[in-house]
Amino acid sequence: MSLAHRPPYVKHQTAVLPAKFDSTSVTKHASLAYLENFKQKIGFQQLLEETISYNKYHNASFSTAETIDFMVNASIQGLARFNQMDELRRDNAYIKIKGKAPSEKVCRDLLLDLPEQAKSELRRVNKQLLSRKARSEGCRDVAIDIDDTVCTVYGDQEGAGVGYNPTKKGRASFKEKVGILATTHEVVNLTLENGRHHTNYELESFIRKCRLLLPAEWKLKRVRIDSGGFDIDNLRYLDGNDLEFVIKCKKYKSLQLIIDAINRREHLYPWLAIDTMFSVNEIHYSMPGWEKPYRFVLVRKPAPVKDKRQLKMELDVVKYDYQIIVTNMEYLSAVEIFHEYNQRCNIENKIDELKEGFAFDQNSQRNQKCNELFLLIKMVAYNLHNWFKQAVLPSDWIHYEIKTIRRRFYQLAANICGQGRYRHIRYARDQVIERLITGIIDRLRRFSLVRT
């Protein structure tokens, strides 16, 4: 007699849920409504209309200002390519916020039709935007960090050239030179240059334009530049215009002589330890052809041992790596100059955010004018977002980059419900989101361009 076996239990698969495609209110762009409120408070649309002189045909569906405003919104949302911008155009909730949205062709045609003077006008738009921010915050002294970055191109773009390219050697590229304010990180000016250009190419002219593009309430006090800007003409200009500077020096042989002379006379020039790694020293020196001496701050650290077998040897002489910083500031100690220059390094992080978050490195148009115009529009978008972040978003978000803010605010899923005065946004039931949005609404209601 055999016992019957119980059949094994088989867990039935969960049924695949059917889908319907009839919602006209759900969106991930609803939070742009609060950015639109902010733009209305600062008069952003009016600013574009008053500054950009190019007028489209009378029967055009979208004005120049409306098209640029749309491209600004798309850049803040991370829609860097023109075909990606159509996502906003197809979004019913975005249309509820804005009323209408231009097509990819309208955006491309506008960049092609805009005259050369539109580049200067977009820089004035950026200046006026920063001026309104400055009026709401008050007067202050500012320092500017200047650097450039290589942007590789993958086509036959006008104005590109084969120059220094650390990641794609031998490939054509653009050089984008940017001036970013320290601490608050506004982009004051940028240029799109041939990839063959060096950092020092027309650097003095670039600094002059940065000064002109600053709001009257912000006084430029200090300039910080990498070794690419180490040139006596730049030092003369900055010193002659009462601008403080902190510039890293190139490793010329004449500067190597300074290092050797100091090391031979350590009883006269003692090294001051900053920590277990770095030490500083200083000397006033005039290089050949200079009219006056400048203050040089020397920084050294132990050089890494290339041959691991040398670690077992007792060496009487420790080898060092050196860097030299030139400055005209006498009231700061050598240690403070070292820390001041190191703060300039944050511009590398901001350039990475501009490239990864606002697609500053994507110059896909064949026409250089179109690429530079689109780049300037992205600059305006970045500064608009930066002001909105500082004025309206939570204070502990001040160091968040755009990708984090998109994930946690700009691209939150929501429904736009109601009509007219009864229109409102419905988010998921979540205490974190509720605290965030109610705080933003409160700060928006209290925000004013008039400083109180």
Residue at 427 is within a domain? yes
Q: What is the pLDDT of residue 84?
A: 87
Quick: pLDDT tens for 249-269: 988 888 888 888 888 888 888
Can you give the residue range of the structural domain that contains 432? 26-117+366-446
Checking if the pLDDT of 104 tops 60, the result is yes
Radius of gyration of the chain (CA): 28
Q: Which two tokens stand for residue 450?
A: 């008039």
Residue at 213 is within a domain? no
* Residue type at position 234: N
CB-CB contact of 71 with 377 (8 Å): yes
Q: What is the pLDDT of residue 11?
A: 62
Residue at 244 is within a domain? no
CB-CB contact of 210 with 188 (8 Å): yes
Cβ atoms within 10 Å of 302's Cβ, excluding its own: 13
Nearest to 157 by CA among 100, 119, 204, 195: 195
Domain count, the chain: 1
Q: Please state, in angstroms and rounded to a whole number, the distance separating the CA atoms of residues 109 and 92.
A: 24
Please identify which residue in the block is written with the tokens 């491309």.
108
As a whole number, mean pLDDT of residues 99-111 equals: 91
Angle at 364 between CA 363 and CA 366, to 5 degrees: 105
Checking if the pLDDT of 387 tops 90, the result is yes
Parallel, antiparallel, or unpaired: how do β-strands 244-248 and 218-225 relate?
Answer: parallel
Please identify which residue in the block is written with the tokens 């960049």.
111
Nearest to 154 by CA among 167, 170, 173: 173
Residue at 198 is within a domain? no
Parallel, antiparallel, or unpaired: how do β-strands 320-327 and 294-302 relate?
Answer: antiparallel
Residue at 231 is within a domain? no
- What would the DSSP string read from start to end of 288-351? TT-SS-EEEEEEEEEPPPSSGGGGGS--SS--EEEEEEEE---SS-HHHHHHHHHHTTHHHHHH
Nearest to 177 by CA among 138, 216, 204: 204
- CA 206 vs CA 42, 123, 408: distances in Å: 28, 13, 36
pLDDT band of 281, cuts 50, 70, 90: very high
Please identify which residue in the block is written with the tokens 């420790």.
318
C-alpha torsion sign, points 335, 337, 341, 343: positive
Residue at 35 is within a domain? yes
Q: What is the pLDDT of residue 308?
A: 56
Mean pLDDT of the chain: 89
DSSP symbol at 51: H
Compute the half-sphere exposure of residue 394: CA atoms within 13 Å on the CB side of its CA: 14
As a whole number, mean pLDDT of residues 379-404 equals: 96
pLDDT band of 10, cuts 50, 70, 90: low
Residue at 422 is within a domain? yes
Higher pLDDT, 58 or 386: 386
CB-CB contact of 157 with 368 (8 Å): yes
**By percentage, how much of the chain surpasses pLDDT 90?**
63
As a whole number, mean pLDDT of residues 225-240 equals: 93
Quick: pLDDT tens for 310-361: 544 444 456 889 999 999 999 999 999 999 999 998 899 999 999 999 989 8
Is this model's pTM higher than 0.85 or not?
yes
Q: Please state, in angstroms and rounded to a whole number, the distance separating the CA atoms of residues 203 and 246.
A: 15
Checking if the pLDDT of 305 tops 70, the result is no
Q: What is the pLDDT of residue 278?
A: 93
Checking if the pLDDT of 409 tops 70, the result is yes
- CA 216 vs CA 50, 53, 130, 189: distances in Å: 19, 23, 10, 16
